[in-house]
A and B are shown apart, each in its own frame.
Chain A
Amino acid sequence: MRKFTRIQKRLLTIIVVLCILACAMFGLRQNSITNIGYSAWTYLKYGLIQYPLSSIGNAVNDFSNLWHAYDDNEYLTKQLAQQKNYQTAYEDERNKNKQLEALLEMKGGLGDAKTISVSVLERSGDSWLQTVTISAGKKQGVEKNMLVATSDGAIGLVDSVQTVTSTVQLLTSQHLNNDIAIKMSLEDGTSVEGVLQSYDTEKKAYRVSLFDNDAIVTKGQKVATSGKGGNYPSGILIGEVKDVSLNDDSIISTVYVSPVSNMKSFDYCLVIGKEESK
């Protein structure tokens, strides 16, 4: 008989013992008496091998999820930044929409007057209160001295007309090329007429000279176009009376009229002319 070496004997012993152990476990698995032992062995196997390994696996998964969270965060940050841009764009469009709606309403109330809807093409910073360029010219039927108004009221007169654009002289410019005939309705039911001559930069109001110096003018009274002497209809709001200047004989010398509220910033406006100017 062949003799085994020491290491072979050891190996054989370990294998036999383990085989017996495995067979015993397999054979007694269904026996209710050994349930406790089997459970203990299963628990030991789970606690020593499977649980640590599954924990490592979970840790790796968590780590990979961390990268996903990082990616999600990056994506959301970008989305948030874009959202701010969208918000600004939305606000801008909403303001424009409001202006257009108000202009449409105004257009409906002008009756037979000739109206041309335009947008502001250019308003340079150095002549912010002097001129603007609008998106309509001869081709659209714009003529010199037509009134330009926003939804709040008149803001200027057409100064020069090109083919598809026009330059508007704002009423806030220091020297108006043409006076504007105005009319004020008084409390007693009568009205007084006058002329808007220029803009006072210190008082930030139009200078208006009245033809009737005895008229009773109070602050807050509405001033509108009279439709006489210009290429525009009557009843377009110019502004409200801000101050009244009297001379030595307590006769009205100048009435100061504050401009309409959205004079400083507007994107759309109406070019208004008389019906017969077609």
Chain B
Amino acid sequence: MINKERCSFIFLLILAILDQMNASLFSVDFTYSSLSFVSHLCFCGCILVVSHEKSLNRLLYACLCGLCVGLFFTSDWFFKMILFGLFGWLSGLFKNAMDQDHWVQFALVFLMMFINDLICFLGAKLFGYLTMSFVKWFIHVEALTLIFNGAWIFVLLYIITVFNRYATIKNIRFKRMEKLHMQNIRRK
């Protein structure tokens, strides 16, 4: 039987490392003279993974994910923990809609990612870390971020769907084996 929690943890760890790799390879141009993007693979993966969990579970999973990413990969652990937790919990509210169609799932994750970026931008603006206009930020950073991560959401959806199917098949086989084993014991 597959340990889903462990696999999800490894999956999210890989995504966090990929985020860091993207950040190293395609670093953001803070002069805003050219287009740049920010990789949100771990955030999107986290939303997709925890959306089917129970209310408190998804909040805790998402908080832990945000905390680990913030602590080990970046330095904004508290902020990340709150945001991951918030969006992780919110994703469960649209669970029924997300189960119906992949497009709805994509749209919700995409929207949450955009709102997450928007909150970060507004927060930075509010505290005086950023002085640039919304339009300039959107054109130079957010546009490419949405395109890049939008494409990756499909890839993540595909991976999660394939993994879920594989886990279901494994579980069925495991239960069947267990049943046969029990029958053999009874016969004896």
Query: Which positions in A face B, CB cutoff 8 Å?
Result: 4, 7-8, 11-12, 14-15, 18-19, 21-22, 45, 49-50, 53-54, 56-57, 60
Contacts and interface: CB of A to CB of B under 8 A. Distances in A.
Residue picked from A8, A12, A15, A19, most chain B C-beta under 10 Å: A15
B157 interface: no
Given A7-B57, A22-B77, A49 B64 contact: no
B21 A57 contact: yes
A49 B67 CA distance: 16
Contact of B67 (A18, A45, A60): A18
Nearest to B21: A53
A49 to B, nearest CB: 7
A110 B21 CA distance: 83
Contacts of A8: 56-57, 60
A49 B73 contact: yes
Interface centre among A11, A21, A45 (most CB of B within 10 A): A11
B135 interface: no
A122 to B, nearest CB: 62
B20 A12 contact: no
The 6 A-B residue pairs whose C-beta atoms are closest, nearest first, are A11-B60, A57-B24, A57-B25, A53-B24, A53-B20, A22-B77
A186 to B, nearest CB: 89
A11 B20 CA distance: 25
A29 to B, nearest CB: 11
A1 B77 CA distance: 29
B60 A15 contact: yes
A53 B67 contact: no
Given A8-B56, A11-B60, A49-B73, A18 B68 contact: yes
B94 interface: no
Contacts of B56: 4, 8
Contacts of B134: none
A60 B25 contact: yes
A54 B24 contact: yes
Contacts of B64: 11, 14-15, 18
Interface of B is mostly: helix
Contacts of B20: 49-50, 53
Contacts of B21: 53, 56-57
Interface of B: 5, 17, 20-21, 24-25, 56-57, 60-61, 63-64, 67-68, 71-73, 77-78, 81
Contacts of A15: 60, 63-64, 67, 81
10 contacts: A7-B57, A8-B57, A11-B61, A15-B67, A18-B67, A19-B81, A49-B17, A53-B17, A56-B21, A57-B25
Contacts of A12: 60
Contacts of A53: 17, 20-21, 24
Contacts of B5: 7
Nearest to A7: B57
Nearest to A25: B71
A22 B66 CA distance: 13
A20 to B, nearest CB: 11
Contacts of B78: 22
Nearest to B18: A53
Contacts of A57: 21, 24-25
Contacts of A21: 71
Greatest chain A CB density within 10 A among B24, B57, B63, B78 is at B24
A49 B72 contact: yes
Given A18-B68, A18-B71, A56-B21, 15 more contacts: A8-B57, A8-B60, A11-B57, A15-B64, A18-B77, A19-B67, A19-B81, A21-B71, A22-B71, A50-B20, A53-B17, A53-B20, A53-B24, A57-B24, A57-B25
